[in-house]
Amino acid sequence: MRFNSKRDYAFLIVFLFIFLLYSVISCFSIMVEKDFTVLIPFSIVLFLLAILFYSLLKTTYFVLDKENLICKSLIFKKTIPYSTIKKVEKQKGLYAGIKFSTAWKGLIVYYNKYDELLISPEKEELFIDLIYSRIEKSTLES
């Protein structure tokens, strides 16, 4: 089963912050240099950043197949066998680690001995129920 990534205002806030920062820098550069060609590199960077953010939102998803949890974002892909997953819980605070998330809050998947991954599926409760049923099924089979 495929779950799209949850979207909230985190990406929009980050993009708007960068846009405002670049706007202030652009205005300051125009006032100092008195030349509008300074806007070209700023515009290119903002355009590329907008494409990156849009691509992240469109290509981030999570798949629960028969044996693995598959997390995909842009060109990155992470496959986690159900047999290695220890627990899945909702994120409670700030998270510093590997993220396959397009939202501010998500789920933390603990796997192997010390590995963890932040993900943000749209329907968290359904995702948790399904992944635990797949984990139980994989432990019964082995």
88 contact partners, CB below 8 Å, separation of at least 6? 107, 108, 109, 110, 128, 131, 132
Domain hosting residue 117, numbered range = 1-142
The tally of domains found in the chain comes to 1
CA distance 15 to 9: 10
Residues 79/112, Cβ–Cβ less than 8 Å: no
Residues 45/39, Cβ–Cβ less than 8 Å: no
> Is the pLDDT score of 142 beyond 90?
no
Instruction: Tell me the whole-structure pTM to 2 decimals.
Output: 0.81
Tokens coding 67: 């044996």
pLDDT in tens, 35-66: 888 788 888 988 998 898 889 889 999 999 99
Average pLDDT of the chain? Answer: 89
CATH code where residue 53 lies: 2.30.29.30
DSSP at 5: B
The mean pLDDT value for 111-121 works out to 92
pLDDT in tens, 74-91: 999 999 999 999 999 999
- State residue 118's pLDDT score: 93
